Each structure stands twice: as C-alpha cells, then as structure tokens.
Chains A and B, each alone.
Chain A
C-alpha cells in the first residue's frame, strides 16, 4: 500500500466533517472520493495532504507515518486557490519548481499540460480551463509519486472537462497514484479504479465503479416518452416511476421487460435504455441525488 488511512476524524465545532474514515490506496491506481458538496471529501483529502490536522486517526505513507519528505513526493491541485500575483505561467511554475529537490523538466510539464501557447501570459489572465491545466501543472512540477486532485473539473465547460480528463488519464498511464475528489459521477466512473462514496463525513460504500453498480443497482432503466407511450396496467413485476414527460421502468431482466411491453403493444419508437451508474448507487444508498 502506498497510503493507509485509519479511523481519521475531524470536527468543526460539534459537527463531524470527517467521521471515522478508513481506506487504503494501492500504488499506481486512481482513487476517487465521490460525494455531494459538504460530504467531507476536501477535508479528508487535506488531512491526508498534511494541510489540516485530524482530531484522531492514523495516516501511513509507504508503511510509516508521514515525515518531512512526504511533501517532496506529493503534488496537489487545490479546488480553489490564488497564485503569486504578477507572474507569468512559466515564472509561476519555475517558482514552485524551485521549492523541490526532485523536479520534472519545466518544458515537459508545460507541454504535458498544453500550456505552450500561453506560457508567457500572466497567470491571472487565462480562461477557466487554462487555469485548471496550470494548477495541474503545478501539481506535477515536482514529478510526484502521489497526485491529489480536489474537484479538478469543477466549473469547466464540457469540452475543457474532457481535455482535463485526457490529461489525468495520461498522468495515470505514467504510473502515478492519483487521489481525486469529485461530485461528478461520470468523472469518477471514467477515471477511478476505486471509488469511496462519502456522505455526511462517512464512507458509505467503497469498491470499483463497476462492482459498486453491480452490487447496488441491478438491471437497467427503460425510459418511455409521453404521450406516445401508454403503459399497460400489468407491469406489477417492474418498478415504474412516472415523471411529467416520461415513464421510467426499472427492470432487472431487460429481455422480459421489452417482451412485456411489446406484447402489450406499447409504442417503443422513443424508448431509451439507460444502464445504472454511480449516481444511481448514491441514490440507492442515501435516497438523494449527488448534486442535491
């Protein structure tokens, strides 16, 4: 294990922001903390990074408590942070590079994060996507073994988000261990090998995205648009949800569901079939949506 987190707890006043959280991380994997805003993801990750102190619990890095060298081995992309003012992107990266003994080549990081064209621009005169790539570059400037990414794609448009995901996948391919927090189930599903779902400071489920889906959500959801589809009354064997403009039929056996609908003469031309995802897992576990 590269990281072992055991029973960490953090209180803010009377509220437990992190409540007895434990998990282990294998080297070279991408570990995701998935949960809604306020679930305790950022506090958890910042405790591991050493930015905050836990009230109790134990954190082992490579089998021993973290020491001064831990900071040399980690790279962090914070959720929101300002940078030293009046510096260009290259100067910002150079300043942070100087902080470490072991570093990546500046030009390599600039290229890796697609910052070549804006490298000499002031660090506060760039777009949201460029800024996230700069923050990612800062996290990689010391060629870290462990990369912490706190909500890396929050606030980005879909295109910028996809570009960032490509970058993160490349970092993963380089063999680095990644710990990321997110409230986007798609991001977790796409990037993470292991996901821990957090709610109200606790980890409520943990495993690979596929295993979690298989464990908590079996079958598929068949969606039929109104008003074309008129549902027959004999669908008792399925769970049917009626929305203003469509029906959702949860079916463990898609074959049986479709046969039943066709036999009843339901118009299936506007039908869509959706496989379950981590959002459904969260919904099943907590009874609420991830972004509520």
Chain B
C-alpha cells in the first residue's frame, strides 16, 4: 500500500469536485432549498390538510365566520375554506379532487357533496357531522398535551435531508463517476501505472467521505443560521453517525461501480436503489403504520439506520450506547459492501 499514490488520487478527485462549479454549488444549495421549502410549507401554523368548497360565495368579500355553518366546524384547524360562485364550478373541482368536500350555503337542512372514493372527503364528512353534536355535559375523553420540549418539524426533517443528500452524493458521485471513468478509459490509464485497485478504491472512498462531511458541515452551518436547529444529544456522536452512514453509502456506491461500462445501466441501477431507499428510510414520512414486511425490508438500507440513529441523537438526546445496534449494523454493511466491491472491481470491464 502506497500512501503517496492514494494521496494523489484523493487530491485529484477532490479538485474535480471543487472545480466542477455547477455540481459543487448544487451540492450545497439543493439541501438548503429543500429544508427552507419544506419548513415553510409544513413547519408553520398555516398548514391545511383538507380543502372545503363553499357555494354560492364571492371570493372577494367571503367571510367564513359570517356563514350559518356550525361554529365547531368553522373553528377546526387544518380545514381550508374555498368559496365558489356556483355549484357547477364547485362540483367540477370536487370531481377532480381539487377539493375534498363541497357545502351549499343557506340550504336547510345543510347539503354537502363528497367523492365516495376520497378518504379525505370521508374524514371531513365525519368532522362536519361531529360539529352538530351538543357540546354540553361531561366529555367522553380528556385532552392531554405532550409535556416538555416539542420536536419541531424542521428538527425532525433536517437529518433526513442531510442523509438523503449524502446518499445521492455518495451513490452518484462514486457509482456513476467510476463507471464513467471505466467507460472513457481513465481507469485503463491508471491501470497502466503501479497504482493498485485497493489504493484506488481506498482513495476514492476517502475522497468521497471527506467531501460528504465537508458538505454536511457547510450545509448544517448554513441552515442552522436560518433555522437554529435544536440538537439534544452530542454533536460528536451525531457527526460520527453521519460519518458511518456516509461511509456505508459510499461503499454501496463502490459495489455498484465495481463492474460495467454502461452509464445508462448504472443510472438505472442507482435509481432502482435510491428511490425505494429514500421513501422507505423515513426521509420524508414515517412508515410506522406500514406492513411489518415493509418495515423489515427498509432495514436493508443503510440510510434507514443512519437516519434512525441521527434522529435519536438529535431529537431524543440518545448517547452512543443507545444507538449501538445501528452503529453495529452500519459497520457490518460497510465491511460487506467494501469487501464485495473490492473483490468484484475491474479496471476495464
């Protein structure tokens, strides 16, 4: 093993990353835009889950509070009331699932329309019916609120964005690039030198993990200036988890890139892996209610373990001991992916 040679490849790969201005910028701008966009859409109080159409009503001077609808219905959070001048306009919107529920104002009794195939319409119907129930007497249930610090949506969402950015950067930055290098003869040129496959793969891995961590720190600092993230656990532990996670997805990238010269095929394979990984690793939404087999399947992805551990540290203040199972799984994955990738690696085919 020759460190001088590995350093040369490490340096060349990093220079390529930093000098490719468009890709370089995108690596930082993309996660920032995602966090900013989603925290704006879902983080505030203005989120509306259900859209209720009202007719006949004039958009310009529509006052929901002045309608004859039950007060309880008008006060429900997450309902957005949209006025329509005629029934025909409203029913068209309902047919095309632009709204979930349509009510006629002034009708006695109240008349409403829903789409029988719309789950949201069903929920609004139940809310609407419940709003006619008397409010007096002893309540059937007592409301309790979560005590202590609330986990903000952006604090839950941010580790997911970081992990997803790492996954894309590692898989495409290693998997796709190595295949392109094999196709255009760069690897063949390197093969002609005393550089060994191990030295090349090690330098590639090292370079990518350096770039991932560099990006992570810059994106974190940039986003933190705007959103002031709350980290319950240790920053060192969190950094370590992202390091292991980054290494695991980089190793997976090397395994994917170990053979082949077709960029199109590799692109297909990368999409085949990244999309399910992105959706099942709870980057965007929880899969708590999903079937058991799907939850088990999601555990095959390194992103799942990186994210589980990162959220435990960031949101719940978990220490190393708590996330030991995730650390163990990530290390096993790294070893398996790297060994297989190195064993299968070919310079030229």
What is the interface of chain A, defined by CB distance below 8 A to chain B? 49-51, 68, 71-72, 74, 76, 78, 80-87, 91, 94-96, 98-101, 138
Contacts and interface: CB of A to CB of B under 8 A. Distances in A.
Interface of B: 4-5, 7-9, 11-13, 15-16, 19-20, 181, 184-186, 188-195, 348
B16 A85 contact: yes
SS of B interface (majority): helix
A98 B193 CA distance: 10
B115 to A, nearest CB: 54
B21 to A, nearest CB: 10
B189 A78 contact: yes
B7 A81 contact: no
A81 B185 contact: yes
A41 B11 CA distance: 35
B194 A81 contact: no
B191 A99 contact: no
24 contacts: A49-B192, A68-B194, A74-B192, A78-B188, A78-B192, A81-B184, A82-B186, A83-B186, A85-B20, A86-B15, A86-B20, A87-B12, A91-B15, A95-B8, A95-B9, A95-B12, A98-B5, A98-B7, A99-B5, A99-B193, A99-B195, A100-B193, A100-B194, A138-B189
Contacts of B190: 99
Contacts of B8: 94-95, 98-99
Contacts of A72: 194
Most buried by B among A50, A78, A81, A100: A81
A234 to B, nearest CB: 59
B188 A51 contact: yes
Given A80-B185, A98-B5, A86 B16 contact: yes
B11 A95 contact: yes
B189 A83 contact: yes
Most buried by A among B4, B185, B193, B348: B193
Contacts of A94: 8
B239 to A, nearest CB: 28
A51 B191 contact: yes
Given A68-B194, A87-B12, A82 B184 contact: yes
Nearest to B347: A51
A78 B11 CA distance: 24
A153 B279 CA distance: 53
